[in-house]
Structure 1
């Protein structure tokens, strides 16, 4: 749940299926020897509007409450490419309005930016940054996340490339600085190999150190738990293998092992996660996309933590299935429909909440 690089909030992970286009996987393997295709500033916009029915708007494991939701999404992207420099900026904003549940009205904003510098035929440097803000209109659960990556990619051969980098980020709740907020430093190493013209295999290793503002918890005996005199710290490690095939259809699958070790009672866990995404066009103007995630998670201690890992249950993605169907009515207008099922872990470890979401809407591109 700590990994901004691999995980997105539930809302944007669901809408990522709409933002994803079949040509995207071509960018997944771009060896340093490839020269940038030059182009001036290119601006793209899209607006999505629609209604959905959420069977569990509060992510409750005890008493789910359903409600219709109005949803509006705006995405804008700007890109400029010169011979040796690529600039990319991406903004996504969403407004969600819940019928008869004003305390759930929210705004979501996600801003990303990146610069890639081509040093020579085999070496590139890149800088990336992202800021996410979630603002509730009628309660005090607002929070923000931010993160940055500095790295380099080098060609090992015509088919293989190595990428390495360091990263930093934080989580900041506006109303509870001492409970959930943390910062992290980390590093990652990725090896990509092109098996064929449209098939890529990638192995990624990652390591992070998380420093919480809250104090750690100590186990005294079976009946008593007390606060430690030092802050909670965690070491997070992950190893992920990803397979991507992009032809007339897209298939992307990954398996990831995660290991979290903490100096606080109740936060040690191991997790194995499987993810898959596919997209294909069964007929002209039609596009079908599907995504699935399944995980197993085990904790080292039987004692539950006194403070949940996070306050917002939407940030935890455990098990879900999403099916998305769209039809282009014109070059600019698309009709959308989606059904998704979620079986995610709640802030109380080992306790899951379930929800089903139906969405219908329109997308305008210009």
Structure 2
């Protein structure tokens, strides 16, 4: 009989919360199109605006500055392509080496000359190298640097980076998909010009995201036609998804204080692994990380084998990003941190959630240690 499933892949997607599910179901019962002016349309529009205010609260932002999208990938693309098309001022693009594929691909679709900012071995952006990139030209740049990395959880000093970008006359986009709802955020304090969010990382339905745009910033719509979202993203709104996003955002903010308990469980997990396997490694452990994320190296065992073995044991984990059509491949994030292909191919990502218990952590550690011992016996290194 299959063991009870244990889900430890919250960075890929979080389980839909009861409140988000209820909000989506209620939204499905509404008849009107949010763009219609009759009573049914006004009711649908009111639901969209309620959710907009709830999502804006994730960033302590004005609701009218939130643009709903189909997810984090579209939000990232709208930011970069919209900034580039919306102004003739910004012709340079600078992105960090550890950005999500959607940022890297969008930047390369805009220009064949994207400048890549390196990171240190701990996963933090190399600020000296970043300043050198900014200073290479007097031409202002569009810069994209994420807040929290999806594979390692490492948090970047976005406020400091924003100051440097603004001093150079550039604009800063920040992918905060993994950070929102896990750490307290304020768009003013962060200093970025636009910020991407995704609903399903918080427990909303899949297929809904948002982009916060600084008031007065010119950004060209990429989806045009009906003029929805104040002309910034046309198309009939995904009412159930948006309603679920609002409910999930409200819940996430209400549970921010639980991140301390999540971090303790994550730290206990890592300590137990290092105690049992001193040659194991946790990436980004020495710098600030979001509380739930751990990237763990098991020497001698491929990540693909680990993921499949854990799955057979009833435990869901992942290898790097889950946004690559189910492929297990070498991590560009770990490569940027100085790892060779062999090492990076043996790293898994474990990401906890509010429902993860001490018993869940103990179960994972027990399974990890059994697999490690099997690997060492195969390599002939276990005494």
TM range (shorter): under 0.3
Superposition TM-score, scaled by structure 1 size = 0.23
Please state which structure has a larger fraction of its residues in strand. Answer: 1
Superposition TM-score, scaled by structure 2 size = 0.22
Please state which structure has a larger fraction of its residues in helix. Answer: 2
Whose RCO is larger (CA < 8 A, sep 6+)?
2
